[in-house]
Amino acid sequence: MAVTMRQIEAVPEVYPEITSLIYPLAEGEGAWIWQRIESYIAHRYIARDVIWTVEGGGDWTPPLAPAVITVAHRWDGVDWITASLSAGPYGYCLPDDGPYSITATVGGGDVPAAVNKAAMRLANYLTVRINSADPQLWATTSKGQGVNVEDGTGIINTEDSWQRPKDWTANAMQLSGAADLLRPYRRA
């Protein structure tokens, strides 16, 4: 079985728009949300180039979808030579150990409703928790200690302090509900 050793993925110039937001995103934040979504799933919706380095002979499946192989090379010990990949039962069949350098165009098609909804949930979760002064959206309280909540115009609460848990952004994909919607898109 062939193994993908390295993946070099280009960053697209634009990402799909995220709609139905509670707070507007600042410039560039939509790309950041989509990059978090794409790091979690194996499907791409905006076309970009990808280069995979693959070792070992046998069956190989591109780890991202949809993928259209544009060129493949095999290292012959001195130089990269053009190689042809034949179709196999699990994608492609690599005839010998390689290593191979496989270039493809990945991405395209319409963004499924579930993926759009996941992007909206993640964006709303992150922006509401940053912008809102509602203490229900902040996880822990402490009387008279910690940092007071501010909205840019002054201190909102002088008696109690509200703090976010330290890992609130790290767990945003799960806590927002986006991870559940993205489960079918985790594998190519």
Q: What is the pLDDT of residues 36-52, one digit of tens each?
A: 999 999 999 999 999 99
Q: Which residues pair with 49 in a beta bridge?
A: 105
* 186 pLDDT tier (thresholds 50, 70, 90): very high
The angle that helices 29-40 and 113-131 make with each other, rounded to 10 degrees, is: 130
How far apart are the C-alpha atoms of 88 and 59, rounded to whole Å? 6
Say what the pLDDT of residue 98 is: 87
The span from the CA of 114 to the CA of 159, in Å, is 42
Tell me what pLDDT residue 115 has: 97
Task: Tell me the C-alpha distance between 181 and 185, whole Å.
Answer: 9
What is the pLDDT of the chain when averaged over all its residues? 85
Instruction: Say which range, 56-65, 101-110, 130-139, has the weakest mean pLDDT.
Output: 130-139
